[in-house]
Structures are given as C-alpha cells and as structure tokens.
Amino acid sequence: MGKVSIPSIFHIFGALIRQDNRKITRFLFLFCLKKTYGMKLIGACIILLVFAGTKQLFAQNTLTGTLTARQIISQMQAQLSCPWSQETVDTFKTGNPDDVVTGVAVCMFANMEALQNAVAKNCNLLIVHEPTFYNHLDKTDMLEDNPVYQAKMAYIQKHKLIIFRFHDHWHRTVPDGIYVGMIEKLGWKTNQVDNSMLFFKFGEQTVGGFAQKLQEKLGGSQLRVVGDPLMRFTNVALAVGAPGSKSHINLLTSEFTELLVAGEASEWETYEYVQDAAMLGMKKAAIFTGHIASEEAGMEYCATWLKTFIQDIPITYLENGSSFWTVQKPLNE
C-alpha cells in the first residue's frame, strides 16, 4: 500500500464524517493511518477527530434557534402544494426578515392585542391571515400622519416585530388550509358531499335550530341570519372569509344550496339577494358568522401544520376572537 498524503486523507475522511457515518469512518481512518504512518500518528489523530466531532455537535446545537424569518417562510413555502406567486399579498409587512426568530405567533389579525400577546410570549415573528394596516394591500402612504398607525408602528419597531401575511397561498394550497381547519372545528367532515369542501348535507332541520348549534360551536353570539328561521333544509354551502357577493351569489344560485353559511358580506349585496330570493318563494337562507369566526380555526390549524416541520422554534397560536360586541336583549322583553 503506497503512502497517501495526510491532507488528502483528512479531506476524504472529513467529507465522510459530515455524512452520518462517523463510527465506520473513524475506524477506517485509523486503520488507514496505521497502515501508512504507523502508531505514532494515531494518538494525534484521535485528538483531532474528537475535536472535529465536538465541533460538529456544537454546530448542530447552535443551529437551534438561529433561523431567520426569511428562512422560516421559505421552509413554509416548500411545504405548500401550490407554486409561490409573485403577485400576492403574502409578503413581509414590517420588521427585518433577516432577524433571527425567537418564537412564531400565528393569528388572524396582527392587531394591538395580538402584538402585545406575541411580545409577552417572546415571539418576534407573526404569521397572520389578514392585513395589518386596514386595507387589503397594507398600503400605508395615506396613513403616514395617522395617530393610530404611528403608535402601532412605534410599538412594532420598539419590539422589532416581523409581520408576514399568509393569505393567498394558505387558501391556494390543496387542500385549502383555512377550510381544513374550519371543517374540523365545525365537525362537518362527514357531512361533505364531495371533496370541494364547499357543500354539506345534514339531517333535515330548521335554520333557527341550526343557527343555535352553530353559535355554540363558534363560541360567539354574533351570528346574523337572513331568511325564515323556520325554513327546513338539509343542504349547506360554506364560504369562509369575505370572498365577495359574486362568489356568495354563485353558491346560492347552485340548485344544491338551501342555506349559505358565510363569513362576511356587504349588507347591500348578499343580504339583499337572500332577502329577495326568500320573498320570491325560493328555499334560500344565509347565516353570517363574521369574518374572524369563519376563518380563525384555519389559522389555528396553520400553527399545528407549521409545528410539523419547524421543531426548534416555539410556535404559538393566538386567538383573536370577535372584534366587536353586540347588545343582547332578551326575546321576551
């Protein structure tokens, strides 16, 4: 066996050590050195190998908690079934994406309450479904002199909070993450009539009775019902969030749909359409749950999903709950 130079032995075995074959590699390395340089070198090499191993372990430990926000988002992108679109609202809204993340908070809205909760839980990255600055594109030019915007931004900057919106792609991935979370929370999985996640069949019942049960499931009392509470039905269409009246009317036009369960709509659009349909003798009604109630469980599911591939950083789901309250008047008064 001819002599091999020490640097080339180190080069080959260094590469092998980086693969997870450390035990075999060390054995082969020592065997090879013994053949070429004899026992004198073995002691020195053991010290070198122990040092290399320790250094590698140390490197692995320091990897924990060194992911930047940008790295976390790209890990997230890699898990989606849809390609990442360049035209999207799913972008960083505040903060430095290259900052190291201490914790991730997932919620519907990065409102002041959520920001304070995130800070209390040592989370500097917020992954949110909806806008932070009160308009779909998070445009802030018209808010520059606004006192609410200024105070919110001051808080965000003070705590170096990074906000990333995750809306379009969470809906676009298959299956739609918001629908998965909502159907799970509502317990409607077995009521699905196909895999569209839009249409459901229930035992025959009244709209009023169904609304009561839905209110309990969503833990709120802000449901708005349009149509006859005594209307009997079996078929439901679900429209989470605020997809617009065109989408609502399309679902309501479907022969299948008797009751539409939707998040948010303009009162002068879908509400009036359902009123007219009912007055014209068609079997149509709608329940509006409010935007947050109709999607929030989808972001709770997002936090669960993130934990399946990001294990080294704490991930917390923050519940927003309803953004408004209502005056309740007993029915018998």
Contact flags string 64-83 toward Zn ion, x per CB under 5 A: --------------------
18-26, 63-71, 107-115, 291-299 -> range binding Zn ion (CB under 5 A)? 291-299
Give residues 294-323 in contact with Zn ion (rule: CB under 5 A). Answer: 295
Q: How far is the CB of 149 from Zn ion (least distance, A)?
A: 23
Q: How far is the CB of 242 from Zn ion (least distance, A)?
A: 8
Q: Which residues contact 303 (CB under 8 A, 6 or more apart)?
A: 104, 106, 315, 316, 317
Number of Cβ atoms within 10 Å of the Cβ of 59? 9
Q: How far is the CB of 15 from Zn ion (least distance, A)?
A: 47
Nearest to 202 by CA among 282, 275, 257, 253: 257
158-166, 241-249, 279-287, 305-313 -> range binding Zn ion (CB under 5 A)? 241-249
Of the pair 167, 284, the CB lying nearest Zn ion is at: 167
For 198: left if phi > 0, alpha if psi spans -120 to 50, otherwise beta; the answer is: alpha
Asked if 208 and 229 touch (Cβ cutoff 8 Å), the reply is yes
Which amino acid does the sequence have at 58?
Answer: F
User: Which ranges of 99-138 does DSSP label H, i.e. alpha helix?
Assistant: 112-120
Of the pair 95, 263, the CB lying nearest Zn ion is at: 263
Please identify which residue in 131, 177, 227, 241 interacts with Zn ion, judged by CB under 5 A: 241
131 lies in the binding site for Zn ion (CB under 5 A): no
Q: How far is the CB of 25 from Zn ion (least distance, A)?
A: 51
Q: How far is the CB of 294 from Zn ion (least distance, A)?
A: 8
Q: From the centroid of its chain, how far is CA 317? A: 9
Q: How far is the CB of 286 from Zn ion (least distance, A)?
A: 18
Give residues 253-272 in contact with Zn ion (rule: CB under 5 A). Answer: none
Distances (CA, A) of 207 to 174, 227, 270: 31, 8, 17
Q: What span, in angstroms and rounded, lies between the C-alpha atoms of 261 and 253? A: 14
**# of chain residues touching Zn ion (CB under 5 A):** 2
Work out the angle between the directed axes of helices 112-120 and 147-158 (0-180°, nearest 10): 10
Q: How far is the CB of 179 from Zn ion (least distance, A)?
A: 9
Of the pair 220, 241, the CB lying nearest Zn ion is at: 241
Q: What span, in angstroms and rounded, lies between the C-alpha atoms of 292 and 285? A: 21
Of the pair 73, 239, the CB lying nearest Zn ion is at: 239
Of the pair 262, 277, the CB lying nearest Zn ion is at: 262
Residues that bind Zn ion (CB under 5 A): 241, 295
